[in-house]
Amino acid sequence: MYKGDTVMNTLQNIIKQYASQYIEQVVEWRRYIHSHPELSGEEQNTSLFIQKVLTELGIPFVNDVSDYAVIGKIEGVHTGPVIALRADIDALPIHEETGLPFASQNEGVMHACGHDSHIAILLGAAAILQSIKDQLHGTVKLVFQPSEEEALFPGAQGIVDSGILDDVDEIYGLHVWPQLPVGTVGLKKGNLMAASDHFLVHIKGKATHGAEPHNGIDAIVAAANWIVNVESMVARETNPMENLVCTIGVINGGDRYNVGCGDVYLEGTCRTYEPEKRDYIERRLGESLQALDVMFKTESTLDYKRGHGATINYPEAIDYATSIVEKYLGKEAVVHPDFPSMAAEDFSAYLSKIKGAFLWLGTGFEGNPALHNACFTIDESILEPGITMMAALAAELLQEKWLNSSLK
């Protein structure tokens, strides 16, 4: 065994020991955060809690980068590269129905996407890394990011635009994932999560008495035709082997049962990976509304808002993360998903500038619903492997880069 193996094995033992030492505190942090969720753009108290914990851990931070973001900084005794770890901190406008003793105390707001776990895991990894900073050959930045759930808020892009991560060499993040078994880690090269756009449509007709439809322009009939046309475009104009989803999730129109409707408002989302597909669906939605206006004599408008880009993992970063998961959690914990998700994540903003990877931490057990469900929760047994993995991703990468440079 040469020096590098000894260093790495010692580091592995120390990280695991500290993970075991901190896990009760991590569970406590997670439950507190879960019971005090805050919506995107309103994460003031969550941010203050993170700052309080970092202060107790002796980790310096800045909180004036972008909205309620907090960026912690752990500097090793030795100089070297900079690695970033990220957690999102916002919650959703959902009334919680888990029945947990630490359920949301903020009526109508819930951590239904697991961001409470992400925060607690990053705080736990921070505690471990701070405890071993005398062995770190470089710097770890801790990115606690607001507003992941709202594509039109600054979120990740606001932090990237601030320049505070310009010196970062690699970045890693995770998301709890109920589609994977508890304790496994999903590691996928390339396409992982889709670009997400939001569109709003107004179809303006002409209201009339329900008994005299010929004297008006029925916006509901026009909207129904447009919805069918949109579904037909996706089904008949695009290759079924390519990734494209277009969902209309909101439709509002009409005031009374016997009045021909004059205005219908619709909202939806488009999910894609290829930029060409993104351009295509935006263009075709507009063209289909123009055709609708010719056919029904309506006046329609489309407001198409581009949100997060696609999250595309660096293959070499996934190779590295796989080696860490195998080493720390065992080969049985490794899962390489066959297909990407059409859900979205603004971690894409980091990967557009910085090498790195986004991982899925399995929390799937019988009866556990999907993310964004009022009954969603996690199996808390995933927290210890979560903090172990995140701490190891940073510490071992810094050690690896130091060893490689010292052998030259």
pLDDT digits (tens, 9 = 90+) for 84-103: 999 999 999 999 999 999 99
CB 193 within 8 A of CB 371: no
Give me the pLDDT at residue 123, please.
Answer: 98
Whether the predicted pLDDT of 408 surpasses 70 = no
Q: Name the one residue in this structure whose structure tokens are 């172990």.
A: 388
pLDDT digits (tens, 9 = 90+) for 20-73: 999 999 999 999 999 999 999 999 999 999 999 999 999 999 999 999 999 999
Give me the pLDDT at residue 277, please.
Answer: 96
Residues 141 and 271 both lie in one domain? no
Q: In which band, very low, low, confident or very high, does the pLDDT at 172 lie, cut at 50, 70 and 90?
A: very high
Q: Name the one residue in this structure whose structure tokens are 């979560």.
A: 386
Residues 132 and 228 both lie in one domain? no
Residues 372 and 239 both lie in one domain? no
Mean pLDDT of 153-181: 97
Residues 59 and 152 both lie in one domain? yes
Whether the predicted pLDDT of 118 surpasses 80 = yes
When mean pLDDT is compared across 51-60, 200-209, 231-240, 264-273, the lowest value belongs to 231-240
Q: Any idea what the CATH number is for the domain that residue 162 is in?
A: 3.40.630.10
CB 143 within 8 A of CB 188: no
Residues 62 and 181 both lie in one domain? yes
Residues 116 and 256 both lie in one domain? no
The CB-based long-range contact list for 322-330 (8 Å cut-off, 24+ gap) reads 322/187, 324/389, 324/392, 324/393, 324/396, 325/185, 325/187, 325/389, 327/12, 327/392, 328/12, 328/15, 328/16, 328/385, 328/388, 328/389, 328/392, 329/183, 329/185, 329/385, 329/388, 329/389
Last residue of a domain, one of 275, 306, 337: 306
Whether the predicted pLDDT of 8 surpasses 70 = no
Q: In which band, very low, low, confident or very high, does the pLDDT at 405 lie, cut at 50, 70 and 90?
A: low
Domain residues for the domain of 237 are 195-306
Give me the pLDDT at residue 285, please.
Answer: 98
Whether the predicted pLDDT of 104 surpasses 80 = yes
Closest CA to 51 of 119, 106, 133, 131: 119
Number of domains in the chain: 2
Give me the pLDDT at residue 79, please.
Answer: 87
Give me the pLDDT at residue 242, please.
Answer: 87
Q: In which band, very low, low, confident or very high, does the pLDDT at 1 lie, cut at 50, 70 and 90?
A: very low
Give me the pLDDT at residue 3, please.
Answer: 47
Residues 68 and 176 both lie in one domain? yes
Whether the predicted pLDDT of 10 surpasses 90 = no
CB 341 within 8 A of CB 194: yes
Residues 31 and 140 both lie in one domain? yes
Whether the predicted pLDDT of 9 surpasses 70 = no
Last residue of a domain, one of 306, 338, 357: 306
Give me the pLDDT at residue 78, please.
Answer: 85
H-assigned helices in 309-365: 315-329, 348-351
Q: Any idea what the CATH number is for the domain that residue 281 is in?
A: 3.30.70.360
Residues 163 and 213 both lie in one domain? no
Helices 219-237 and 275-296 cross at an angle (nearest 10°) of 140
pLDDT digits (tens, 9 = 90+) for 276-316: 999 999 999 999 999 999 999 999 999 999 999 999 999 99
Q: In which band, very low, low, confident or very high, does the pLDDT at 152 lie, cut at 50, 70 and 90?
A: confident
What is the dihedral angle through the alpha carbons of 108, 111, 116, 119, rounded to the nearest 10 degrees?
A: -90
Residues 103 and 41 both lie in one domain? yes
Residues 243 and 112 both lie in one domain? no
Residues 149 and 90 both lie in one domain? yes
Query: What is the C-alpha to C-alpha distance for residues 378 and 380, in angstroms, rounded to an integer?
Result: 6
Last residue of a domain, one of 306, 325, 353: 306
